Amino acid sequence: MEHFDASLSTYFKALLGPRDTRVKGWFLLDNYIPTFVCSVIYLLIVWLGPKYMKNKQPFSCRGILVVYNLGLTLLSLYMFCELVTGVWQGSYNFFCQGTRNAGESDMKIIHVLWWYYFSKLIEFMDTFFFILRKNNHQITVLHVYHHATMFNIWWFVMNWVPCGHCSVCADNHSDQLWGHLAMFVPSWLVVFPDRIHDFPDCSLHELLHDLQQEGSLSEERPPEGPPERVCDCRKRTHQQLFFPGKQCEAKEATEGLKWQSR
């Protein structure tokens, strides 16, 4: 393994030039093998995970999703603030900025960019949660390509150009901050469904009718069918929202088919 790593280092040096010595000895940056192995394991899980979960009940992962999204939201906020202040303090030039022109500000940027690189490893969990929850339709080619390549790309960035204009590239990741925040809020509502239960327990067509009376919506046609059927639909919708792993009972499914055939 050491011989293989030495060969890779020689090849990278011949192709890209000498590495930046400021990141020498940093976690995961000395050699490429750990980054490559983690990426291969990620792709294997993406391939084998859905097959393993095919005949199993999906996991809700509600509690861990809240912690995960909150953690990444805070990390993204920290990186965003540190990058903005580092670029401001170092008086970065947005047209042509070298990698060794800002002194201490460059080192501040390098430390933040290492966290940005490491966050790409943490974000592998996005796909793992999709697999555990059996949301396989969200595991697209673009999704897998993005996660598998970003971790590798930023290993090379951190070893050869760990500051300068690369800070501008990472600073444009505010969509990641808002994305995790957008996922955190619904997951909080799912973990604490009792708060939602405080709303009036009325059917959907009653709620739409009340809004129409206030002038907020145009007249809506109430759903057809017996009242007990509407109640069953509400119960199943509630179960699918807050308990995605719970399957419909055979009796309910049979009744639904009979009602639709009328």
What's the pLDDT at 79?
92
Q: In terms of pLDDT, which residue wins out, 4 or 198?
A: 4
Angle, nearest 10°, between helix axes 141-160 and 104-122?
A: 150
Task: Write down the mean pLDDT value for the chain.
Answer: 76
Tokens 């000395």 locate to 30
Q: How confident is the model at residue 196 (pLDDT cuts 50, 70, 90)?
A: very low
Which tens digit of pLDDT belongs to each residue from 12-52? 989 999 999 999 999 999 999 999 999 999 999 999 999 99
Exposure b/e, 231-249, CB count within 10 A at least 16 = b: ebbeebeeeeebebeeeee
Task: List residues with catalytic annotation.
Answer: 146
Which tens digit of pLDDT belongs to each residue from 202-213? 444 454 455 555
Average pLDDT, integer, range 57-70? 92
Amino acid occupying residue 196: I
Average pLDDT, integer, range 173-187? 48
